[in-house]
Structure formats: C-alpha cells, structure tokens
Amino acid sequence: MRLVLLFSIAVLFFSCTSQSFQKAPTEEILAFQANLNAEYLDKSTTPLREENFLKFKSHPFFPIDLKYRVSAKLVKLKGAELLEIPTSSGKVKVYRPYARAQFEIEGRPHELTLYQSMDLLKQPEYKDYLFLPFKDATNNESTYGGGKYLDLRIPSGNSNTLIIDFNKSYHPYCAYNAYDYSCPIVPEQNSLSIPIKAGVMYEAVYF
C-alpha cells in the first residue's frame, strides 16, 4: 500500500512539474504582451503621437502558439564585416552579423541572421543583446508591411543553441509613427516564405 502511495505521489509530482514547464513559456509571452501594452499606454515611453495615443487601448495579438517557439542552432559568423543597414528615414545604422540561426517550423528548415547593434555595444547592459529583424508571409495582411523585430540575448556558456519565440515579435516604432522614428529595414536574406502567425498583429486603421 505504501509503495502504491509513493508511486502515486511521484506521478502527481511529475505531472505537476511537466505542466509548470509547459506553462512557463506562455506566462513569459503574456508578460511580454502586458509590458508592450504598458509601454504604449505610458505617455513617457509611448512612441505614439498625441492623436493616436488618445485612441490606443491595446495591441492586437495572434493567439499564443508554441509551435512558433523554436530551438535554433547558431552558426557563429566570426570575422564578419560590419553591415550598414538602411533605415526608414534614409539614414543607415551599423550592425555586426553575429550568427545564422537555423531552425525548423512544422518540419521545414529555415534560417535567419542575428545582428549586434554597434551603437548598443557601447553600453555594457547591451553587450549580449541580439537583434533579429525578419519578414514573413503575413506582412501587408495581418502584420506591418515592413516586417517585425525580436530582441534576444546571447546564450550563456558559449552555447550554440538559442530559443527564438516569435510570440514575442513586435513591430518597429515607425509602423506607428513614421515622423519621429528611423527604423532598420529588414535585410532581404531575413525574409521567410511562410506565415509567422505569432506576436503582434497590425491594424493600420488606428495609425
């Protein structure tokens, strides 16, 4: 009887632990959504102009879908030349190609390039920051035509794998305010042929 009880407790513990591990990514995504909305609703941090700030209530988001949370293999680009990426205002911003991220979605292989901002590298708190701009088949339909961004961090311990969660992808500020912001244009090689139905959606009618 005692053995059966111990076995039952072990099964229950494993079940609860598994559920908590599965729940954690969803909680992270919900926190991302809440923080993004809070940023846009705060007059001191919002990129929105006055007329749009007064109308803004919340970002529309795709339903959370963990198939868009992928484990990517990083192929480091050591010695890569600096890249001047044009921006929406006609200026350029300088980035260092850091690695190619190779991953699969629904069994199909894909690859995107991760970048480091040379401006942000001057600030210690951003020394491990990675910038991932990308386009996909949802652009000009349910997302902004210029593509979306993801903020990532270099994995610790020289790991060659990185979790990329497209549920945390967002639009550049210039999608909402082209007057005051200059946003990097997504490099051509970072265009995906599939739709990424994750992260922030776009309702241009409000902007």
Tens digit of pLDDT for each residue in 46-67?
999 999 999 999 999 999 999 9
Q: Which residues contact 26 (CB under 8 A, 6 or more apart)?
A: 64, 66
Q: Which residues contact 69 (CB under 8 A, 6 or more apart)?
A: 25, 163, 164, 165, 166, 167
Total count of domains within the chain: 1
Q: Could you list the residue range(s) of the whole structural domain that residue 188 is in?
A: 2-206
pTM of the model: 0.87
Tens digit of pLDDT for each residue in 149-179?
999 999 988 789 999 999 999 999 999 999 9
